[in-house]
Amino acid sequence: MEVVVGTPSTLAQDTIHRMAVYRHRIFVEMLGWQLPSGQSGIELDQFDCLDTMYMIARQGDDVVGVARLLPTHRPYLLKEVFPHLMGGLPLPNSPDVWELSRFTAIDLSGKPPEGCTRQVSSPIAVGLLTMVLQVAAAHGVQRLITVSPLGIERLLRRSGFLAHRAAPPVTIAGQPTYACWIEVPQQRSD
């Protein structure tokens, strides 16, 4: 698995397009999310800006995973769309706390691997999330906040990530969903 990291201004347009098509296949076609951009065969929203950081996992030419990183001192998904998931607690608003959103990791080219959920297959997800944490640490990020289906909680714990609920889950579109903190291990400077 190769992971490319960058923004729309540093990544090739073809890479951005393949990511948007992949996101459409996962979030609109597989998960059935009703998204404004979902009708065009690509999935991009108001948080996909020129300075949005992406991590795109590829195997050959196929996209097999995506992560979007947004600093919380600018507009981000949890703050703008799902603030109730914080259970009345203050929303993150800091350059050293970033939101991880549109995270998905599944190879659509073949039969889903064993241990695959509807949004992630654990070997790809663990590899991509590990790289997300490395990139976040390199940018001085202390913590990530994310909106996730409750089923992701077990994958995070089982894989050894330092993650915990920000507030109790809330049912959204029939699925328990929660805001999740993920601690970013800091790189040692030996």
Q: Can you tell me the distance from the alpha carbon of 96 to that of 69, in angstroms, rounded to the nearest whole number?
A: 12
CB-based burial of residue 60 (10 Å sphere; 0-12 exposed, 13-18 middle, 19+ buried)? exposed
Domain ranges within the chain, ordered by starting residue: 2-183
Q: Which of these, 143, 156, 153, lies nearest to 175 by C-alpha position?
A: 153
Q: Which of these, 74, 86, 19, 10, lies nearest to 46 by C-alpha position?
A: 74
Position 1 scores a pLDDT of: 87
pLDDT tens per residue across span 103-161: 999 888 765 544 444 445 578 889 999 999 999 999 999 999 999 998 888 888 888 99
Q: Which of the listed CATH numbers 3.40.630.30, 3.30.70.260, 3.30.70.2190, 3.40.50.620 matches domain 2-183?
A: 3.40.630.30
pLDDT tens per residue across span 3-40: 999 999 999 999 999 999 999 999 888 888 777 765 68
**Element (DSSP H or E) covering residue 14:** helix 13-23
Main-chain phi, psi angles of 24, to 5 degrees: -60, -45
Sign of CA dihedral 35, 15, 3, 123: positive
Per DSSP (E only), the strands in the chain are 2-6, 53-59, 62-71, 97-105, 143-149, 163-165, 170-172, 175-183
Q: Can you tell me the distance from the alpha carbon of 86 to that of 167, in angstroms, rounded to the nearest whole number?
A: 5
Q: Can you tell me the distance from the alpha carbon of 163 to that of 179, in angstroms, rounded to the nearest whole number?
A: 10
| Three-state SS at 74 | coil
Q: Can you tell me the distance from the alpha carbon of 44 to that of 110, in angstroms, rounded to the nearest whole number?
A: 25
Q: What angle do CA 111, 54, 44 make, to 5 degrees?
A: 80
Position 49 pLDDT exceeds 70: yes
